[in-house]
Structures are given as structure tokens and as C-alpha cells.
Amino acid sequence: MPTEDVINFIKNNIENSIKEGEELFGTKIDYILINPDTNDTTSIISNGVDKIVEFTPFTKEMKTGYAKVPEWDYSFDNYLFKDLESVYQIGYITAETHYNIWTSIEELYPEDINNKDGVQWYLQFCANNGITKEYLDEKTNLDTPNIMKYFDGLAFQETMTYKGYVIEADETNYDNPKENLVTIYKSQQDYIDGNYAENVSLNTVGLKQNIKEYIDEVYIDKTDLESEKAYFTFVLGYDLLHDMINKYGVLECDTNYDFCDYVANQFLDSKEYSNFNRSSYEMLQEWLSNNKERIENEYKETIGFEEKNYNGNLKILETGFRKDEAIALVEKDVPSMNRKEYIVAFNYTIDKEKNNLSWGYGRYYYDKNSGEKAYEKVINGGNLAFHDREER
């Protein structure tokens, strides 16, 4: 008997039992699961409060044909998710039950749920069948928490890109229901043209990560990848991160090389690197722009940079060089006038023992923006003309 017919047959039988049995008064079907290999089903009905009943292959031998489930024993984790981790699939489920499941996952996942693969199988069902927050909000008139952020798979016919490859999720593998068939295209153009490289079957749970690992193992030439990483490391050190590195005055080549190598590895794992519609240099620029603050903070942590107050009211904001001349942008707190001043300090020195900051000469500014512009002009080799500064 086809699966749909089995589900309808079981659904009708349970609904008749509800009509005929006083013990089942006020209950309705929450969900029906089916074993596709045997057509056995397991079903839960409830009144949504304190009456929970299950119909399973084991309860068929009982006089009533069903078994009561103690309220304290029932949870989606121990029943639904556990069954989905075995051989069962969802055959029927109500919108109200979906809402309760989504609320439960939002409250408990991942720390307080044991059958995490069962959660992923459930989310796979939702993705494949258009069960979204918007759908449930409309059906239940409730505000459903959006739990699809926890989904690590792909919906049927959904695509993802990874390192230039386009991968489309196909149907479940008929010979192995725990795996998905996926189609791999070597480029966006191949995907548009329908020229695929191969179809492969991969574990459905964690499908996105499984696809990445398969691409890395089978398609990516490790030699080419290392060569490309070396190129990115060079570009970062001598071009794209050059100004940032100079700003902190760290001259140790090994430290700067290791940091650029670390950033290059991050870029290789990014979605921008996988965009082959533009050059890798352009995408590296875009990725750096999107992550500028985080990367600079990580660099400061790497070199042990600390923002200290000197002389009780001075703080170095930026440092660099104009040729061999040490330059700093200094913020000076002037409490008596309730303001801050900004100084481009030339040939600055630090006495660490006395925590004293001094400089040969400086140019003073009364707002941060003016000071930053003057500092940038100096470290780029410029001179400060009289009209450029507010001199004191």
C-alpha cells in the first residue's frame, strides 16, 4: 500500500477510536510517523494539556489498541526526535504541533536535547515541505520562534556554493533513506548550463558540512590551495594590511607574516572566497572591509598592544612612521576645560618606568576628525602647513 494511503488509513482509524472511546474524548492527532520499510506507524494524540496517548505496533496487541503516556514521561526529545533518528519519517503532523515543537527546540536546543540528529531530521522535513515561521504564524495566529537557524542541511532543490562549486540538493537516496543525493557543478556557469560534474550520495544530517568535506577531499587540489594561500598572505602583508601593520610600528617580520597567513586562512573559509564571479583579489578586499574592526582587534591582541594612559591624561590612539620619524596620534584629556585635544606627536618617546610620554614637537587639534586627518597626511609622507593645524 502506498505511504499516503497507509497514513490516511491510520488517520481514519484513530479518528474513529477518538469518536468511540470516552477515554479519548477531547483529544486529536498530533502526528503520525511511518516506517517506510514496513509501513508500521507510530502516532501520538493528545488534548494539548494532560492527556497523551500513543498508537504503535506494540499497542495493537492491547485491548484498547492504544497506550496512555504519563505526562511526566513525554517529550518531543524522547518520542518524536528519538523515533526520527531510527527509521521513522513524518507522515502527518498538525500546525499546532509544529508550533509546540518549534517552541521546544528554541528553549532546549542544543544543550538540553539528546537526540540532536532527530532535530535535524525534523528540520529537514520542515525545509522540504515549506514549514516556515511565516507559515506557522499564519496557521496558528501565534508568534513562532524561528528555529531554522539551527538547520545544517539543505532543502530539496536548494543550492549552496563552496570554493566556486555549486551544489544542489536532490531527493533522498532510495537505497539509503539516511542519505541525500546531491549534484555538483564546477562553476556557476556550469550550473546555469546544466553541465554537472557528478551526482553523489551523502549523509543528510549535517549535509552542508558533509558537502564541504567531500569537495575538499575529491575536488580541491591541495597544492593549488597552498599556492593561493601564499599569494593572499603576500598581498595582505605588502598591500591590503600594510597600513594597519605600520600603524602599530611592529617591525618583526615573522609576527606580521604569521598574522597575514592566519588572515589568509580565514579568507579561504569565507563565502567571499567562493564567489568566482569576481576576482579573488576583489573578494579579498571586500571581505577585509566587512571584517576590518575584528581583524584589527585580533592584530592588537597578537602583538600585545595595550591602550595606556600616560602622564595621567594622555592616550596613544595610533602610531606609525614618516620615513624614520616616529609619529603618534595622541588624545589629551583636559578636565579643567571639559574637552579633549588631539596631538600629532613627532619623534615621540615612552619612558616605561615612569609611564611618561613625550615628543619633540606636536601639532594640536580640537576635534578628533581633524587630528586623524592630519595624522594620516603625515604618515603618508606629507607635511602640515600652517592652515592645516590649530597650533598652540
Neighbours of 4 (CB within 10 A): 11
Q: Lowest mean pLDDT: which of 30-34, 104-108, 114-118, 337-341? A: 337-341
pLDDT of residue 2: 67
DSSP readout, 215-244?
HHHHT--HHHHHHHHHHHHHHIIIIITHHH
DSSP readout, 263-326?
HHHHHHTSTTTT-TTS-HHHHHHHHHHHTHHHHHHHHHHHHT----EETTTEEEEEEEEETTEE
What share of the chain has pLDDT > 70, as a percent?
A: 95
Q: Mean of the pLDDT values across residues 350-368?
A: 88
What share of the chain has pLDDT > 90, as a percent?
A: 60
Residue with cell 615628543: 359
Nearest CA-CA partner of 6 in 57, 67, 59, 82: 57
pLDDT of residue 97: 97
Cell of 103: 517552541
pTM confidence score: 0.59
How many angstroms from the chain centroid is the CA of residue 58? 42
Mean pLDDT for all residues in the chain: 89
